[in-house]
Amino acid sequence: MKCPFCGHLDTQVVDSRVSEDASSIRRRRRCLGCDKRFTTFETAELRMPQVVKQDGHRAEFDEDKLRIGFNRALHKRPVSTQLVDESVEHIKQKLLALGEREVSARELGEMVMSELARLDKVAYIRFASVYRSFQDVSEFSEAIREISRKQH
């Protein structure tokens, strides 16, 4: 690690400690060039995949957009914020577990629909109607039959 004082490239770790929440490691270092000490922090870098939209352009994964989608579908439905948070976290964990640098918007939408089907059937139908661009009542009926089959 480069010394922030003199720029020397050779430093020595004097002490290492895990942070209180165990999410990082604090390292106390000593420069072998100027003998000054400094602290560094080491954390795991987890990168969410980019979302590839239907038109081909790419966008950063946005947890706020995901949460807004859930909240719109669940508007005035009896589902707690805690359950929404758990669903959002579940989707984020699925995305990280994929280990991919990109995920299609369609695949992400299917993950949301799966979570909504588990949380609230009405919210599932609301989301599906927008996500799948329902054009007439028969598409609503088919979605209702689909969710009913999944229940049994």
Q: Is the pLDDT of residue 24 over 70?
A: yes
What confidence tens digit (pLDDT) does each residue in 72-88 have? 999 999 999 999 999 99
Q: Is the Cβ–Cβ distance between 4 and 38 less than 8 Å?
A: yes
| Residue 140: band (very low, low, confident or very high) from pLDDT cuts 50, 70, 90 | low
In this prediction, residue 18 carries a pLDDT of 92
Q: Is the pLDDT of residue 65 over 90?
A: yes
What does the DSSP 8-state code read for residue 13? E
Q: What is the dihedral angle through the alpha carbons of 81, 83, 114, 76, rounded to the nearest 10 degrees?
A: -40
Mean pLDDT of all residues in 83-106:
93
Mean pLDDT of all residues in 65-71:
93
| Residue 21: band (very low, low, confident or very high) from pLDDT cuts 50, 70, 90 | confident
| Residue 147: band (very low, low, confident or very high) from pLDDT cuts 50, 70, 90 | confident
Q: Is the Cβ–Cβ distance between 139 and 132 less than 8 Å?
A: yes
| Residue 99: band (very low, low, confident or very high) from pLDDT cuts 50, 70, 90 | confident
Q: Is the pLDDT of residue 152 over 70?
A: no
| Arithmetic mean of pLDDT over the chain | 88
Mean pLDDT of all residues in 86-96:
94
Q: What gap in Å lies between CA 44 and CA 48, rounded to an integer?
A: 13
Q: Is the Cβ–Cβ distance between 47 and 56 less than 8 Å?
A: no
